[in-house]
Amino acid sequence: MSKLRLEIPAKMLPFHTVKKRHKIARGGRGSAKSWSIARLLSVRGITQPTRWLCCRETQKSIKESSHRLLADQIAAMNLGYYYDVQEKVIKGQAGTSAGESEFAFVGLKEHTADSIKSYEGFDGAWTEEAHSVSERSATVLIPTIRKPGSELWWSYNPDQDADYVHQLAAMEDDDTLVIDINWRDNPWFPVELEKERVKLLRVNQDLYRHVWEGACRSLAGLMFKRDWFKFYDVLPSRLNLYMASDYAVTPDDGDFTEHGVWGLSELGDLYAVDWWYGQKDPAEWIDAWIDLVSRCRPLAAFEEKGVILRAVDSAITKRMRETQTFANRIALASAGSKAERALGFAARASAGSVYLPAGKPWAIRLLNQLCAFNGEDGRQDDAVDVCSLVGRGLDEMANAAPAESEESKRRRGADYAADDDDDDDNWKTA
């Protein structure tokens, strides 16, 4: 076997060289902690028989696991000869030095002490996004990985002080290794992320410390401040109108479909003009979208690329043709975290350039959602998603050539809705 070349940040080397029961890597975005662990495991599986459990708190499908990250690192290091990357498991190729190695992927929340027993002979476990792991899940996992010399690896961006893994890291235990690693420790930190880092530092230092420096998250008001927003009684006479929508496919999944119309003044101020929201079937919210387009005639209608857009795109197009009501729909890629996608809008709000209508209940609801937003999953923030879309859309239009209209794309046979661009695949940033 030829010599393996392992490229990881120097701070992560103790994961390879130090023997401890618990190994914890924590820090902010862009630190390369996740891909470092994936690389370490890929190499370990070749140099010694390795059976490793890769966990998250919730894993409804293999797409939500670390499977892709591990497979990408195997490919990036040209280790495909040693591994058979299957749909739900990664195994060592028979006849190679990795022949007895195996990586399995599970969601801890879905397991009990009895159902997870089949993994008790594994050499270790890696829990990604460990800040979300409950005490119940940890007490199921830890005694399961009981083989002599076995290890438990944890990686996470600190969230709350009370999180189980954060409390574990705070214990002064001789058998626990804790590595604090951030963007400055990553030799491959990309220019694109550096721009985002500096932007957030300028807009909101509280959120910056959480996202980029690995500080725990405050409980409220991290992203938006109430005193940033102004109220108007009468709209300016000259506004360029834009629309943004956050779609939900089914009315019973807890999410709202939201449509927001915004007006951009000659001075660059942004005014919330009209709004619709509801937990309705697509037929109803598409008609609401048509009504807003008909009344407001936006210059562009922003929406988000992905699975939901692919599911409803043809129905929206059909309804536009039936009603002869058309809009220049511009689909934006869903890249980065919710908080990062909101940065463009937050920058405008922090400059005092966002206005809401006085006396409108929907405007108060919108303001409350914005001020409660802290980027966590599971919160009601669909209205914030609309604001994020309009901010990103306006920024992209200002920095790029004029967007091609949907009709033009149709004429030349383009299928933009099938493009599920995702810019968070950079394997040297996780």
Cα 39 from Cα 411, distance rounded (Å)? 46
Residue 415 structure tokens: 């299928």
CB 26 within 8 A of CB 214: yes
Burial category of 161 from C-beta neighbours within 10 Å (exposed 0-12, middle 13-18, buried 19 and up): exposed
CB 105 within 8 A of CB 66: yes
pLDDT at site 144:
95
How many Cβ atoms from other residues are within 10 Å of residue 370's Cβ? 25
Give yes or no for residue 139 having a pLDDT over 60: yes
Q: Which long-range contacts (CB under 8 A, 24 or more apart) does 261-268 make?
A: 261/292, 261/296, 261/298, 262/390, 263/235, 263/236, 263/239, 264/239, 264/240, 264/394, 265/236, 265/238, 265/239, 266/238, 268/353
pLDDT at site 222:
64
CB 59 within 8 A of CB 110: yes
pLDDT at site 401:
46
Q: Which domains does the chain have, with CATH numbers?
A: 10-185 (3.40.50.300), 220-418 (3.30.420.240)
3-class secondary structure, 43: helix
Task: Categorize the per-residue pLDDT at 88 as very low, low, confident or very high, splitting at 50, 70 and 90.
Answer: very high
Task: Categorize the per-residue pLDDT at 162 as very low, low, confident or very high, splitting at 50, 70 and 90.
Answer: confident
Q: C-alpha distances in angstroms, 11 versus 25, 153, 356? A: 10, 15, 47
pLDDT at site 218:
57
Q: pTM (2 decimals)?
A: 0.65
Lowest-pLDDT choice from 55-69, 169-183, 404-418: 404-418
Distance between alpha carbon 147 and the CA centroid of its chain, in Å? 34
Q: In what order do the strands lie in the sheet with 329-332?
A: 230-232, 354-357, 270-278, 257-264, 240-246, 301-304, 329-332
When pLDDT is averaged across residues 302-307 and rounded to a whole number, the result is 93
Give yes or no for residue 221 having a pLDDT over 80: no
pLDDT at site 376:
64
CB 416 within 8 A of CB 409: yes
Give me the residue label for tokens 């879309």. 389
pLDDT digits (tens, 9 = 90+) for 7-45: 999 999 999 999 999 999 999 999 999 999 999 999 999
CB 161 within 8 A of CB 153: no
398 φ, ψ (degrees, to nearest 5): -75, -25
Give yes or no for residue 156 having a pLDDT over 70: yes
Residue 289 structure tokens: 């979208």
Cα Rg of the chain, angstroms:
24
Q: b vs e for 197-230, b when ≥16 Cβ sit within 10 Å of the residue's Cβ?
A: bebbeebbeebbbbbbbbbbbeeebbbbeeebbe
pLDDT digits (tens, 9 = 90+) for 349-359: 988 999 999 99
